[in-house]
Structure 1
Amino acid sequence: MSRDIIFKTEEYVFSYRVAGLLIQNGKVLLQKPVDDTGYAIPGGHVALGETNEETLIREFKEEINADIKVDKLRWVGELFFPWGDKPCHQICLFYEVSLAGDINIPLDGTFFGTEQLEGKSFKLEFSWVDTKAIKNIELYPIEAKEYLYEGLDEIKHFVYKQD
């Protein structure tokens, strides 16, 4: 049984997620399923009994075999979007992270990793995207485009509602 904090009712899904803002040489690391066009900030669902920091360290290790250090909280997002055939209410906390130890991932271009969610495995594409060109891609939540372009200088709160 998954320990991820995802609760489902007849009508709704609630999810608690954390994401890591990894920026190197003016580029941010983004992820997307290989069969999708929209990017997201890497991270994953917090497991019961796990801290946000522990979750991010575990997710980066599981998905791309990268060791990270978790730095400051940067954004707090209340996200509303479809999860399959149900509406989802997600709380997502976005932290600034940095690479630690041996660097096991490319620092430019695109590479692949794997995500585990609800007992299934998904192939993910990870890409380094120039923060100055971020407005030209499909990125969710959409507030991330503006905030990444502006820089990570203060904590921001936002509500994102996808129709």
Structure 2
Amino acid sequence: MLSFLIGGVHFNLRAAALIVDDGHLLLHRARDHAIWSLPGGRVEPGEAAGDAIVRELREETGETVECQELAFIVENFFDWQGVPVHEIGFYAWATLVSPRLRDKSRSHAGIESGNPLEYRWFSLDELPGVNLFPEFLRTASFARGAAPQHVVQGTPRVGP
């Protein structure tokens, strides 16, 4: 995976799915964490971001998704467990092919490296109150067909 420590900063290349259905967005979190995020994961060397999304959802849920057009390119700067993180994210529209995760009335189980995950649908209207990161997603426009947006979230550590 393209995730490494360099110059005291942890770098990640992440790909994530924007799965919107009937006014709801699918999010996930580790069961022992309060932070929600878009489903996806780290890109492997030589892997396209869309392929990483498909692989990650299959590994974590056993479900099949079809990855579509790019919606956001995100430069995300944050601290995680006392370590500064610089993450580049490719967030693409995706559609569920398998029906299991479509039930919006309950949470769904997933697993990543032996750790339990929770998948849950949130109404787009309730996103501003969700502990969702990166934060811009809480108020983002989820209109399909727009040109990909470049988002810088957080404060870069080096600059003019």
Same fold (TM over 0.5): yes
Q: 1:103-139: per-residue Cα shift (whole Å, max 9, x none)?
A: 23242121111113xxxx3211111001111112111
Specify every segment of 5 or more residues in structure 2 that has no aligned partner in the other structure, as ranges.
156-160
User: AA paired with 1:48?
Assistant: P
Aligned with 1:105: secondary structure? helix
The size of the alignment, in residue pairs, is: 153
After superposition, where does 1:47-66 map in structure 2 within 5 Å? 47-66=44-63
2:32 aligned counterpart, secondary structure = coil
Partner of 1:37: 34
User: How high is the sequence identity, in percent, across the aligned residues?
Assistant: 24
Q: Which whole-Å CA distance do the structure 2 matches of 1:134 and 1:54 have between them?
A: 27
- The TM-score normalised by the length of structure 1 is 0.87
Q: Say whether 1:107 aligns with 2:100.
A: no
Name the structure 2 match of 1:97: 94
2:120 is aligned with 1:139: no
1:157 and 2:150 are equivalent in the alignment: yes
4-13 vs 37-46, which moves further:
4-13
Q: What amino acid does structure 1 have at the position aligned with 2:100?
A: N
Q: Does 1:28 pair with 2:25?
A: yes
- Distance across 1 between alignment mates of 2:75 and 2:128: 21
After TM superposition, the runs of 4+ consecutive aligned structure 1 residues lying more than 3 A away are none
Find 1:126's aligned residue among 119, 132, 148. 119
* Separation in 1, partners of 2:65, 2:137: 21
Distance 1:133 1:85 in 2: 30
Amino acid at match of 1:107: D
Name 1:78's counterpart in structure 2. 75
Residue identity opposite 1:85 in structure 2: G
Q: Which amino acid is the alignment partner of residue 34 of structure 1?
A: R
> Which one-letter code corresponds to 1:132 in the other structure?
D
